[in-house]
Chain A
Amino acid sequence: NAGVTQTPKFRVLKTGQSMTLLCAQDMNHEYMYWYRQDPGMGLRLIHYSVGEGTTAKGEVPDGYNVSRLKKQNFLLGLESAAPSQTSVYFCASSSGQGADGYTFGSGTRLTVV
Chain B
Amino acid sequence: GQQLNQSPQSMFIQEGEDVSMNCTSSSIFNTWLWYKQDPGEGPVLLIALYKAGELTSNGRLTAQFGITRKDSFLNISASIPSDVGIYFCAGQFRRGGSNYKLTFGKGTLLTVNP
Interface segment among B14-22, B77-85, B94-102: the answer is B94-102
CB within 8 A of A43: which of B44, B50, B88?
B88
Number of interface residues of A (CB under 8 A): 26
Q: Which residues of A line the B interface, CB within 8 A?
A: 4, 30-31, 40-43, 45, 48, 50, 59, 90, 92, 94, 96-107
Bound form: Cα–Cα A1–B100 in Å: 23
What residues of chain A lie closer than 8 Å to B99, measured between beta carbons?
A: 94, 96-100
A99 to chain B, nearest CB (A): 4
What residues of chain A lie closer than 8 Å to B30, measured between beta carbons?
A: 99
Nearest CB in chain A to that of B9: its residue: A40
Q: Which residues of B line the A interface, CB within 8 A?
A: 1, 6, 9, 30-31, 33, 35, 40-45, 48, 50, 88, 90, 92, 94, 97-102, 104-107
Given A42-B88, A42-B106, A99-B94, A104-B100 contact (CB < 8 Å): no
B47 to chain A, nearest CB (A): 10
CB within 8 A of B33: which of A41, A50, A101, A106?
A101
What residues of chain A lie closer than 8 Å to B43, measured between beta carbons?
A: 43, 90, 102, 104
CB within 8 A of B101: which of A30, A48, A104, A105?
A48
CB within 8 A of A42: which of B33, B42, B98, B104?
B104
* A101–B90 touching, CB < 8 Å: yes
* B98–A96 touching, CB < 8 Å: yes
B44 to chain A, nearest CB (A): 7
A51 to chain B, nearest CB (A): 10
Nearest CB in chain B to that of A31: its residue: B100
Bound form: Cα–Cα A107–B94 in Å: 27
* A42–B102 touching, CB < 8 Å: no
